[in-house]
Amino acid sequence: MINGYNGKGVKVDLSSNKIEEFEIEDFIIESFLGGRGLGVYFLKKLFNPKENPLSENSPLIITAGGLTGTKTPTGGRFSISFKSPLTGTITSSNSGGFWGVNFRKTGYDVLIISGKSSEPVYLYISEDRVKIISAKDLWGKTLSETTDILKEKYTKAVKVLAIGPAGENLVLISAIMNDYSRAVARGGPGALMGSKNLKAIVVDGRKKLIPKNQELYYSGIKQANKLLKSSPVTSKALPQLGTVGLLKLINDHDMLPHKNFQDVYHKPENIEKISGELLRKKLLIAKRGCFNCTITCTRKTKVDDKTGEGPEFETTALMGANLDIYDLEDIAISNYICNDYGLDTISLGNTIGLAMELYEKGYITKSDTEGIELMFGKRGILPVITELTALNRGFGKYIGEGAKRLAERFNAPELAMVVKGLELPGYEPRASYTQALGYATSPRGGCHLKGGYLVTLGFFGGSREVNRFLIDTAAGHVVNEQDSGCVADSLGICRFSLYAFGENELARIYSGYTGLDVSPEDLKFIAQNIQNLEREYNIKAGFTKEDDSLPPRMFNEKLMIAGEMRAIERDSQFEKMLQKYYEIRGWDSEGNPPKTT
């Protein structure tokens, strides 16, 4: 067994109540590292890409990263892999906090959940047992209520992963939450967990994680920490203002979406009303970080008598600026509802933006919305529509289906700001051609993370900073950033740490931890293979080159960005970047990876 890994997983079949441990061979660990990589391996092995993602056989695969729970800076993340009920793509979503560390310390690297319980249940996992326990008394409760009850039943040291009412109601944009407010959100994992009648997973792990080569391990950690302290992004910007501190910067680069991505024009005084500076002044109680994190980008906030975490940048961008709503308190309260009921704030804000455009253009009326005036800038409706969506009631039933289905329902598919059915996050692709290509080629659809976090490479990438409008070099940058992100996802490292350190430091830490001789090039090679497998899975699920695209608006409607009227020219710009991307990946002109991978 490779040092630092447990070398085993556990399968739970909720239909038969069967619990079975299994060994994970060393060559599998060496080939996939952990986290996203191991999740992709097991999903491809266990679930037919053509099957219904909400079928009883559809697995929920939870994997610890290769460095999760170690002293690696930000090394607390875990992944959940599944076929998305929202999009039908292969999907890997990850989360920080502390749950993943405790899961690793129970003695398992992988948890595979299949089947469907006949009644609501939760799992309890410790070093000496895995149990399926009735959750009838928890069904219908919020995330905070569920977590409080389970911590009271066991100890405050246990960590809780759970769904709220949105997941129970099979809302397709529902999230799985851990540590109260950390989210595994994109692609609707909450709906999959809810379809299994699985309310929560409690982990109670105490196992020690000891490196094989301490000198090499700690030298890598020392260098990584040094770089974190020297990077202005990880030592100043994010610690001082949290992720919402990016809002002004994104707006200054004409990249902050407005009115369902119809434009990027915001009055400066409105941006001030939802800025990180105002959040710090009016709402902030304390700043927090995930496991072993000095970046501390999380914000505990308070509005009147309500407290919670956030809002983060994505929430503020999509549920604020994108909706022409510049009320920080309304956004924060709606964010608290999302956290407690279990909703993806990116998909929610994007889909509400679509609904508002449909409303203002006459595709939907007051009778459709049961009296709610879904107008851009309308104050007071955001918390209302958020709760209706989580509870699957009223017009919220349609919002909860996501933007693609909503647009199709009202005969305006071209107005859905999605890629492969997944809602775009808070960065306008016409303002960064590298990010546009990243969205188009992301395996899970419209995602800035799985697409490669290209957006900020254009203005605080440090030594890696690139021109965001260059066509010839875009594909190389996208491939490089996607590969680095895949390494981070598989090792259980936060993407923000990549602003400071990368594969050189991670290879040293990982080699010291495991005793394996792993180079930076080895890590990148593994990441490339993982993404080839993801591509292969999506192709078998029915996705083609035609799905590697963008909403029509990005090609057809020009905006004033960086002093020029810009849209993305489909043939001379986008297609050129896409073919170059395929070439660098070693795929053919239709985007098919070679069989040898």
| pTM, rounded to two decimals | 0.96
Residue 526 counted as domain residue: yes
Instruction: Tell me the backbone φ, ψ of residue 520, rounded to 5 degrees.
Output: -55, -40
- Spell out the residues 6+ positions from residue 443 whose beta carbon is closer than 8 angstroms to its own: 89, 90, 91, 450, 531, 534, 535, 538
Query: Quick check: helix, strand or coil at residue 178?
Result: strand
Regarding whether 114 and 197 lie in a shared domain, the answer is yes
Exposure of 414 by Cβ count < 10 A (0-12 exposed, 13-18 middle, 19+ buried)?
exposed
What does the pLDDT read at residue 418? 98
Q: How confident is the model at residue 454 (pLDDT cuts 50, 70, 90)?
A: confident
Any residues with CB less than 8 A from the CB of 78 and at least 6 apart, and which?
Answer: 35, 62, 63, 64, 65, 68, 94, 95, 99, 100, 103, 104, 492
Q: Is residue 216 part of a domain?
A: no
Residue 396 pLDDT grade (very low, low, confident, very high; cuts 50, 70, 90): very high
Residue 450 token pair:
């799985």
Using pLDDT thresholds of 50, 70 and 90, give the confidence band for residue 595.
Answer: confident
Residue 575 DSSP one-character state: I
CA-to-CA separations, 65 to 216, 308, 343, in angstroms, rounded: 19, 27, 24
Average model confidence (pLDDT) for the chain?
95
Q: What's 363's domain CATH number?
A: 1.10.569.10
CATH of the domain at 68: 3.60.9.10
Domain assignment of residue 224, yes or no: no
Residue 508 lies in a domain: no
Q: Would you call 118 exposed, middle or buried from its count of C-beta atoms within 10 A (0-12, 13-18, 19+)? A: exposed
Mean pLDDT of 49-72: 96
**217 falls within a domain:** no
pLDDT value at position 320? 97
Angle (CA) 554 556 562, round 5°: 60
User: Is pLDDT above 80 for 457?
Assistant: no
- 201 DSSP β-pair partners: 123, 161
Is there a single domain that holds both residue 342 and residue 441?
no
Does a structural domain hold residue 227?
Answer: no
**Residue 273, both tokens:** 């009303």
pLDDT class of 424 with cuts at 50, 70, 90: very high
- Give the model's pLDDT for residue 459: 66
The model's pLDDT over 364-376, given as tens digits with 9 standing for 90+, comes to 999 999 889 999 9
Q: State the Cα–Cα distance between residues 570 and 565, nearest whole angstrom.
A: 15
**181 and 252 fall within a common domain:** no
CB-based contacts of 500: which residues, under 8 Å, 6+ apart? 224, 227, 228, 230, 231, 233, 234
SS3 121: strand
Percent of the chain with pLDDT over 70: 98
pLDDT band at 452 (very low <50, low <70, confident <90, very high): confident
Confidence band of 525 (pLDDT split at 50, 70, 90)? very high
Q: What is the pLDDT of residues 13-41, one digit of tens each?
A: 999 999 999 999 999 999 999 999 999 99
Residues 464 and 548 in one domain: yes
Residues 409/410/415/416 CA torsion (nearest 10 deg): -20
Looking at the fold, whether 282 and 380 belong to one and the same domain comes out as yes
Residue 593 lies in a domain: no
Q: Is there a single domain that holds both residue 191 and residue 63? A: yes
In 3D space, the residue among 318, 330, 314 whose CA is nearest the CA of residue 243 turns out to be: 314
Whether residue 220 is contained in a domain is answered as no
Closest CA to 493 of 31, 36, 102: 36
Query: How many other C-beta atoms can be found within 10 angstroms of the C-beta atom of residue 225?
Result: 17
Total count of domains within the chain: 3
* pLDDT per residue as tens digits for the range 350-363: 999 999 999 999 99
Residue 330's domain comprises 232-422
Q: What is the pLDDT of residue 449?
A: 87
Exposed, middle or buried: residue 281 (CB in 10 Å: 0-12, 13-18, 19+)?
exposed
Out of 186, 204, 222, a domain closes at 204
For residue 430, what is the DSSP state?
G
pLDDT at 596 over 60: no
Pick from 390, 422, 454: which residue ends a domain? 422
Q: Note the pLDDT of residue 453.
A: 80
pLDDT band at 451 (very low <50, low <70, confident <90, very high): confident
pLDDT tens, position by position, 458-492: 666 666 677 888 899 999 999 999 999 999 999 99
Q: Are residues 166 and 310 located together in one domain of the fold?
A: no
Q: Which pLDDT belongs to residue 458?
A: 65
Give the pLDDT confidence of 312-326 residue by residue, as tens digits: 999 999 999 999 999
Q: Helix count (H) and strand count (E) of the chain?
A: 24, 19
Is the same domain home to 194 and 251? no
Whether residues 391 and 476 share a domain: the answer is: no
DSSP code of residue 389: H
Residue ending a domain, choose from 154, 186, 204: 204
Residue 431: C-alpha distances to residues 168, 270, 470 (Å): 38, 20, 11
- Record the tokens describing residue 595, joined without a space: 């069989």
Q: In which band, very low, low, confident or very high, does the pLDDT at 542 lie, cut at 50, 70 and 90?
A: very high
Assess whether 303 and 242 both reside in one domain.
yes
499: tokens are: 């602003």
Are residues 161 and 199 both part of a single domain? yes
The Cα 81–Cα 113 span in angstroms is 11
Say which residues have a Cβ less than 8 Å from residue 371's Cβ, sequence separation at least 6. none
Q: Judge whether residue 597 has pLDDT over 70.
A: no
Query: What is the three-class DSSP state of 98?
Result: coil
First to last CA, the chain: 25
Q: Which two tokens stand for residue 420?
A: 């492969």
User: Residue 213 in contact with residue 511, Cβ under 8 Å?
Assistant: yes
Distance CA 147, CA 159 (A): 8
| Confidence category of residue 124, pLDDT binned at 50, 70, 90 | very high
Residues 61 and 183 in one domain: yes
Output the pLDDT for position 460.
66
CATH number of the CATH domain containing 529: 1.10.599.10
Which class for 216: exposed (0-12), middle (13-18), buried (19 or more C-beta within 10 A)?
A: middle
Rg of the Cα trace of the chain? 22
Please give the full DSSP string across 223-276, using - where no structure is assigned: HHHHHHHH-HIIIIIHHHH-GGGGHHHHHHTT-S-BTTTTB----HHHHHHTSH
Q: Percent of the chain at pLDDT above 90?
A: 92
